């Protein structure tokens, strides 16, 4: 089997066939054979895991739900309606936040699902998402945080402020009262230290465009930067188990905007930055999963030209079944022995507040036991991750 297809199950292939039969991205597709109720239940579970329920519902609707059991139609219709309501509520919140940012002359770029569902998909409900992801300039973090606080959002962060500022590039804001919503505030594009140090944020900031959202406008990446970000995010953050909806984001982007993507510019950027392999990996799997016939020229542009051992080993951790070893690769890429040690120790021994929340502890009396338990579990997970990367 093609390595790019190894994560796809027979149920995944049925999902792809159903969706492509209604929304072809390349060559027209034939309909799958009728399935029994047991298969349909398994298909629903798999579609939920892959994030494709709204797409599947609309695909079946275009076929008038022929040979589809009533319980499947009712389940998917309910999911689609909830997705439409959730997305509309989230976009209304985003409109309010963007209006506040504009009023204070602050720039932010809307990332991932919140942007794609409005700009890329024919209907916003087709692309479910949870958080509102915003990319800001690092210097604007206090001002943007103040705006979110004014909108009743509270920062949720179990790491101490100095550690978080030194080693992370995002933080989560949540709101407890209705309508409940989360805002993931980013001041860099990737969490992983190894890849973050190789990304030039200004390259992405120079490639944005405006879109409207109700009475407000928001900024998002143009197709060239959008492709680079989606490919990098998928490989680095979800490379071990890429979901079909994430691959479909890239497939739909190529289908709708492939002619406007500056392939040479993005290939030159990722090759020079040492990011070609994650992008090539994402492109290869997108084409295989969603049956896009990408031109050999484009694939050749992103095939890694330089393959250092550090890049090879690091990427193996990120696409392995178990990814815990990536913490070590991040630590080794940090400058200075003190930073390396501090980073590893904090992952092995997190703040007590995190430990109490993670293990639902009412008091700190049992913290030593749970720290030892975590240390033993971490050693096992790291060994498993190394073996998983080796096998991959």
With a CB cutoff of 8 Å and minimum separation 6, the contacts of 225 are 203, 204, 207, 208, 266
DSSP helix/strand/coil, 111? strand
Instruction: List, in order of start, the domains of the chain with CATH numbers.
Output: 3-306 (3.30.460.40), 318-391 (no CATH)
Burial class (CB in 10 A: 0-12, 13-18, 19+), 280: buried
Tens-of-pLDDT digits for all 392 residues of the chain? 455 556 789 999 999 999 999 999 987 777 887 789 999 999 999 999 999 999 999 999 998 998 999 999 999 999 999 999 999 999 999 999 999 999 999 999 999 999 999 999 999 999 999 999 999 999 999 999 999 999 999 998 655 567 777 778 899 999 988 889 999 999 999 988 888 888 999 999 999 999 988 888 899 999 999 999 999 999 999 988 899 999 999 999 999 999 999 999 999 999 999 899 999 999 999 999 999 887 788 999 999 887 677 777 788 878 888 777 777 777 777 788 888 888 788 878 888 877 887 888 877 788 888 889 888 888 888 787 777 767 66
Which residue's entry shows tokens 């890049």? 311
Among 237, 209, 203, which Cα is nearest to 330's? 237
Alpha carbon distances (Å) from 80 to 51, 95, 130, 274, 321: 11, 22, 14, 40, 31
How high is the pLDDT of residue 160?
53
Cis check: omega of the bond before 179, within 30 degrees of 0 = yes
Number of neighbouring beta carbons within 10 Å of residue 228: 27
Question: Which DSSP symbol is given to 30?
Answer: P
- Strand pairing of 181-186 and 208-213? unpaired
Query: Is the four-CA dihedral 31, 128, 230, 44 of positive or negative sign?
Result: negative
pTM, full prediction? 0.90
Distance of CA 25 to the CA centre of its chain: 22
Q: How far apart are CA 59 and CA 21, in angstroms?
A: 7
The pLDDT, as a whole number, for residue 1 is 42
As a whole number of Å, the CA-based R_g of the chain is 22
What pLDDT does 267 receive?
Answer: 96
Residue 216's closest CA among 105, 295, 382, 98?
A: 98
Q: CA-to-CA distance for 383 and 78, rounded, in angstroms?
A: 43
Element (H, E) at 230: helix 223-238
CB 43 within 8 A of CB 15: yes
């Amino acid at each position: 089997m093609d390595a790019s297809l190894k994560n796809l199950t027979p149920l995944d292939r049925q999902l792809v066939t159903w969706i492509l039969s209604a929304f072809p991205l390349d060559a027209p597709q034939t309909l799958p054979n009728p399935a029994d109720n047991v298969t349909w239940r398994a298909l629903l579970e798999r579609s939920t895991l892959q994030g494709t329920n709204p797409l599947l519902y609309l695909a079946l609707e275009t076929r008038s739900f022929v040979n589809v059991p009533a319980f499947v139609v009712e389940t998917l219709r309910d999911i689609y309606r909830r997705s439409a309501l959730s997305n509309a509520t989230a976009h209304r919140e985003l409109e309010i936040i963007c209006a506040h940012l504009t009023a204070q002359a602050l720039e932010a770029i809307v990332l991932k699902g919140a942007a794609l569902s409005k700009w890329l998909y024919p209907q916003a409900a087709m692309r479910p998402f949870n958080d509102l992801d915003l990319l800001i300039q690092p210097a604007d973090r206090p001002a943007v945080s103040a705006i979110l606080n004014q909108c009743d959002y509270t920062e949720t962060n179990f790491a101490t402020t100095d550690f978080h500022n030194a080693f992370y590039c995002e933080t989560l804001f949540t709101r407890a009262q209705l309508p409940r919503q989360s805002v993931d505030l980013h001041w860099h594009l990737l969490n992983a230290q190894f890849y973050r140090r190789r990304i030039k944020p200004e390259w992405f900031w120079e490639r944005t465009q405006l879109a409207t959202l109700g009475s407000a406008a928001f900024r998002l990446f143009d197709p060239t930067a959008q492709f680079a970000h989606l490919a990098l995010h998928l490989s680095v953050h979800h490379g071990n188990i890429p979901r079909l909806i994430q691959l479909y984001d890239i497939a739909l982007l190529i289908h709708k905007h492939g002619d406007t993507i500056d392939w040479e510019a993005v290939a030159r950027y990722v090759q020079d930055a040492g990011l070609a392999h994650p992008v090539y990996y994402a492109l290869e799997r997108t084409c295989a999963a969603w049956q896009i016939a990408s031109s050999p020229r484009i694939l050749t542009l992103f095939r890694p030209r330089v393959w250092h051992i550090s890049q090879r080993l690091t990427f193996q951790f990120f696409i392995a079944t178990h990814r815990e070893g990536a913490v070590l690769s991040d630590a080794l890429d940090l400058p200075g022995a003190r930073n390396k040690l501090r980073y590893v120790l904090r992952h092995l021994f997190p703040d007590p507040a995190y430990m109490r929340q993670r293990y639902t502890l009412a008091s700190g009396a049992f913290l030593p036991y749970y720290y030892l338990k975590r240390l033993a579990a971490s050693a096992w997970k790291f060994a498993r991750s190394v073996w998983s990367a080796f096998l991959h």
